[in-house]
Structure formats: C-alpha cells, structure tokens
Structure 1
Amino acid sequence: MKDQSFDGLAQKFDRNIYGTTKGRLRHELLCAALSEHLAPLGPQKIIELGGGTGVMADYLAGAGHQLTLTDVSAEILHLARQKLPADITIQQADLFSINNLADYDVVVCHAVLEWLAKPYDALAHIASQMPPGSFLSLTFFNRDAAIFGNALYGNFDYIARDMKVKKQVRLNPQQPLSPKEVLAAVEKLGFRVEGKRGIRCFHDYLRERDMASSHYQQLLELEFRYHQQEPYLWLGKYFYLWLVKEI
C-alpha cells in the first residue's frame, strides 16, 4: 500500500468532493465545528495538511486567520492557486516532510489519514512537533460507518474481504480508521480531546438518494441536531476531533 496522491485526478477530485451534496454537507459541518472552536481564540496562525484545492483554507482565511496550505499533489495545488487569494501561503509537501508545525497555533488535518499507508505514523509525526497548548483539528474516514453502510446495501463479500478490492478505485479512501482506536492513539500521543462529532451521520444512509438534494436543508438541520449525540456521532461517515496538545 502506498500513500495516495491525486495527480492525474485533480479535476475529478474537485468535482466529486465539493460538487456534491456529500461534499457540501461535510464542508458546512466542518466549518461550523471549526468556527465554534476557533472563535474564543482570536486570529490564529494555521497550517492545513493535505488541504487539496483549499476550500477550507479559503474559509478560514476569510474568517481572519493566517493560512498556509500544503498538499503533496502539484496538480491539486495548481487548481488551488487559481482559486485562492494571494495572502494564503501554498506549499507542495508530503506530510512526513513537514517539520515546522511548532510555528503554528493550529494544525488542520481533514480527510488525509485514510489516504496514507501508515496513518498512525502520520499522527505520531504531527504530534512530535506540536508544542503544548497548540490545537489539532482532525477528521478521518470512519471504518465502523463504512462497514455499517456496506452492510445496509448487502455488500457482504466486500466486508468479508476487509473492504479490500483487487483494483483500488483512486477516489475511494484506502485506509478507513476506527474512531475508538484513533481516540486511544491521540491520547497516548499527548492530546486531550476537547470535542468530537460525527460528520454525515444520516446523509450516506438515505434509502432515497435524491432526498439529499430535494431535502437538503432538513437533512442539514438533522445533522446539526444529532451529530454530537450518542449513538449517532459514531455513525458519521467521517469522524471529527478537536484536540489540544498537553505534553
């Protein structure tokens, strides 16, 4: 297994991730979570790891924060440069090659770990550089939700193969993670959990897929109502954590 880059898929990535109800919903929920956590802190110096075309970086910069956007894909960052204001610093870099996280108040790492061959090594690399009092906004593809969703659609053989396929579809996350295992890992790495949410707790389980568009506002309100509550937060297709580095 190798780390996934989106070179050769940049345009498709941009359409599929942010041009759909699932991308729009994920972005709105994450923006709300970050806004809530960042509001008491004032303007922050933020680095986004694996930030893609910069949709989140653009939002955070617009809220008054100083942003550095990184991604391993040159093609993705070419799109980002076309879209983003000049005051956002853009850097092409592999996550493991970034060694200046101590220069930032907040590290944002959303939907990155599931594309890496060694996601827990990436978490350890991030943690090793972050000073006490700094913050990590972490989101990852939820393995437990992936199993549940595939069971609902009768993909029993796929689950039996540990959700592995002979030919990996490059826009399908290759390494979903269990929230309970990630929570245990970050606590061992010296983080304190200050917030957790499920992201898309209901959207991906709709029997009538068209309702994601036709009833979008109702769906969004439902997500906001329940995405921090048990048991629904554990069913989010993505899992979100707001972490403070203690040691």
Structure 2
Amino acid sequence: MQTTGTTAIATHLSPDGDRYFDGMADKFADSLYGKARGELRLDLLDRLLPEMLALDGQPALDVGGGLGQLSGWLAERGHEVTLCEPADDMLRRARESLAGTSVTALPLPLQALPERLPGPWPLITCHAVLEWMADPRAALATLARLLAPQGQLSLMVFNHDALRFSNVVKGNLDRVLADRLAGQGRRKRLTPISPLRHDEILAWAGENGLAVTHCAGVRVFHDYLQDPPADDEQYRKLLELEWRYSRREPYWRLGRYLLYTLRALPDNAEETLR
C-alpha cells in the first residue's frame, strides 16, 4: 500500500479487519480538513455539541481522536482529555498540535480500552470511527462498558443512506442496485468499510443500555452540491443552511454523518429511544 512521504505500509487493515490510517495524516489534513467539507464538519460540531451534550468540565475519553481537533476543542472548554489513536503519524500530529494543553495522547485502539482505560468515564467521544471497524456493533458495546452511570457518549458515524443517495446522484446506478457501497479498506480510498444506518444505532444502543437523547445530521447539503462554495460568502450561507436543517426532519437523516448523544441508563431504567 502507498502513502504520503517516505513511510511504507503493508496494509490498511488490522488483523481484526479494522481500517487504520497509518501514513495518511497528510491526506486527512489536506483533502478533508483543508477543504470546505472538513471546515463545515468542525464548524457544525462547534455549534451542535454544546447543545447536544451536558458539558461541565468532566474528564473525557476521545476514542480514535485522529489529528486531535475534538480533543483540543474539549480542552479549551476545561476538560481533562485522554486521546486514543492507533495510527502513529496521526498520533504524532495530535501530540504536536496539542502540546501544552490538558490532553494526554496514547497509542491505543478501541479494543484495548477496557483493559487499559476502563474508566468509568463520564464523557466519551467517538467520531467517525465505528464505520472503519469490521464489527461496529461490538465496538459500540465496548464503548458502552466504559461509560459511567448516566455518562454521555458523543457518537458520530458515516451514514449508509447518505452514501447510497450520493452514489445515485453521481450516476453509480449499478453499484447502488447491487448494494456495493462499502469500501474495501484498500489503498488510500476513504469510503468506509462499515457505513451505518440510523436503525442500527437505535437497536445497538438498546442492547447496551443506552438511551439516544439527541440526533443530528452533519453536512446534509454540502456533499450533494455540484460545486463547492466559491468564496467566503457562499460558505457562510451554506453553513447557515447546514445549521438550520441539521436537526430538522427529513434533512438530518441524509447528513453525510449522523451525530448522536447516547446516555448510559441506570440499571433497570426504562429505555427512551427515539
């Protein structure tokens, strides 16, 4: 497999079949966060998270924290953050950008957390991780075990329905008819191997004693545009539209990402999934 720079990487898949991103920090920084789609994602999270989470400076575990943007956002708001990221160059970039903050960055995959960082944690963030796992259902169960009673999980996943819709818009009709939408984890392609559906998240939350308290769509319009925003004024207008419809039916359901707040229910509590 090829990568940026001089580092050679044998495979993008772990022995468990999960997709890791060793050697791809430059690609994420440039092709995602260096463009409007990444900027929109961060700007929308900046608005959505304070309304979807009860944030009071509690310790936070950032699972699959990548380049560290979310950990930095939490640190700026008074949280002691433990960032876990298995990709070496991602972790190195995160440590560089977060030097001097309240973030501790560790080279851990999600599967190692019950043994290494069992918590219980009052706040866990896991954004754009489950869709790269061979078994996202088991991954969510692992996260649920790490939560303190009444703890909050901020979960963001790549939306299977949005992937289908965007492929139709692009004219990939045969692929959609054959339901060949998931990526294979090869080369440097960034199509997730396990895109997820809303009903799956609801069902798996219920299995693990989690209540879904908030839902939102991230990038409900941008990824279907023929042309990206041409200037700052167009970007500002698009951001306003994205924000306005991020939690409004039916638009949020076609967001490129689905953003959830899940709360750990006390034992024997009645689930209130919506």
Q: TM-score range by the shorter chain?
A: over 0.9
User: Once the 2 structures are TM-superposed, how far is the Cα of residue 161 of structure 1 from its aligned partner?
Assistant: 4.5
Q: How many residues align?
A: 246
> Identity over aligned residues, as a percent?
38
Which residue of structure 2 aligns with residue 215 of structure 1?
A: 234
Answer yes or no: is the 8 Å Cα contact 1:201–1:235 preserved in 2: yes
Does 2:203 match 1:189?
A: no
Answer yes or no: is the 8 Å Cα contact 1:47–1:67 preserved in 2: yes
Does 2:97 match 1:83?
A: yes
User: Once the 2 structures are TM-superposed, how far is the Cα of residue 101 of structure 1 from its aligned partner?
Assistant: 4.1
Unaligned segments of structure 2, at least 5 residues: 1-12, 268-274
User: Once the 2 structures are TM-superposed, how far is the Cα of residue 107 of structure 1 from its aligned partner?
Assistant: 0.4
The change in CA–CA distance for 1:46 and 1:212 in structure 2 (over 3 A counts) is farther
Which residue of structure 2 aligns with residue 109 of structure 1?
A: 126
User: Once the 2 structures are TM-superposed, how far is the Cα of residue 17 of structure 1 from its aligned partner?
Assistant: 2.3
| Whole-Å separation in 2 of the counterparts to 1:221 and 1:53 | 26
Cα deviation, 1:51-98, whole Å, max 9, x if unaligned, reads 001011111101111111111111111111111133311111010100
Could you tell me which amino acid in structure 1 is paired with residue 218 of structure 2? Answer: I
Alignment of 1:93-132 (within 5 A): 93-99=108-114, 100-132=117-149
Q: Which of residues 149, 166, 170 in structure 2 aligns to 1:153?
A: 170
Cα deviation, 1:136-195, whole Å, max 9, x if unaligned, reads 000000000110111111111222242156773432222111112111211221111111
Q: Which moved more, 1:231-240 or 1:203-212?
A: 203-212
Answer yes or no: is the 8 Å Cα contact 1:191–1:244 preserved in 2: yes
Could you tell me which amino acid in structure 1 is paired with residue 201 of structure 2? Answer: V
The change in CA–CA distance for 1:215 and 1:144 in structure 2 (over 3 A counts) is same
Which residue of structure 2 aligns with residue 179 of structure 1?
A: 198
For 1:201, what is the secondary structure of its paired residue?
A: coil
Q: Which moved more, 1:162-171 or 1:50-59?
A: 162-171
| Whole-Å separation in 1 of the counterparts to 2:74 and 2:30 | 21
Which residue of structure 1 aligns with residue 30 of structure 2?
A: 15
The change in CA–CA distance for 1:142 and 1:115 in structure 2 (over 3 A counts) is same
Answer yes or no: is the 8 Å Cα contact 1:149–1:205 preserved in 2: yes
User: Once the 2 structures are TM-superposed, how far is the Cα of residue 212 of structure 1 from its aligned partner?
Assistant: 7.8
| Whole-Å separation in 1 of the counterparts to 2:120 and 2:147 | 9
| Whole-Å separation in 2 of the counterparts to 1:78 and 1:170 | 22
Answer yes or no: is the 8 Å Cα contact 2:229–2:235 preserved in 1: no
| Whole-Å separation in 2 of the counterparts to 1:33 and 1:22 | 16
Q: Which of residues 149, 157, 163 in structure 1 aligns to 2:181?
A: 163
Answer yes or no: is the 8 Å Cα contact 2:63–2:110 preserved in 1: yes
User: Once the 2 structures are TM-superposed, how far is the Cα of residue 41 of structure 1 from its aligned partner?
Assistant: 4.1
Relative to the length of structure 1, the TM-score reads: 0.93
For 1:107, what is the secondary structure of its paired residue?
A: strand
| Whole-Å separation in 1 of the counterparts to 2:256 and 2:87 | 24
User: Once the 2 structures are TM-superposed, how far is the Cα of residue 43 of structure 1 from its aligned partner?
Assistant: 1.1
Q: Which of residues 72, 83, 96 in structure 2 aligns to 1:69?
A: 83
Could you tell me which amino acid in structure 1 is paired with residue 216 of structure 2? Answer: R
Unaligned segments of structure 1, at least 5 residues: none
Answer yes or no: is the 8 Å Cα contact 1:13–1:171 preserved in 2: no
| Whole-Å separation in 1 of the counterparts to 2:44 and 2:87 | 25
Which residue of structure 1 aligns with residue 264 of structure 2?
A: 245
Answer yes or no: is the 8 Å Cα contact 1:31–1:56 preserved in 2: no
Q: Which of residues 134, 137, 140 in structure 1 aligns to 2:154?
A: 137
Which residue of structure 2 aligns with residue 58 of structure 1?
A: 72
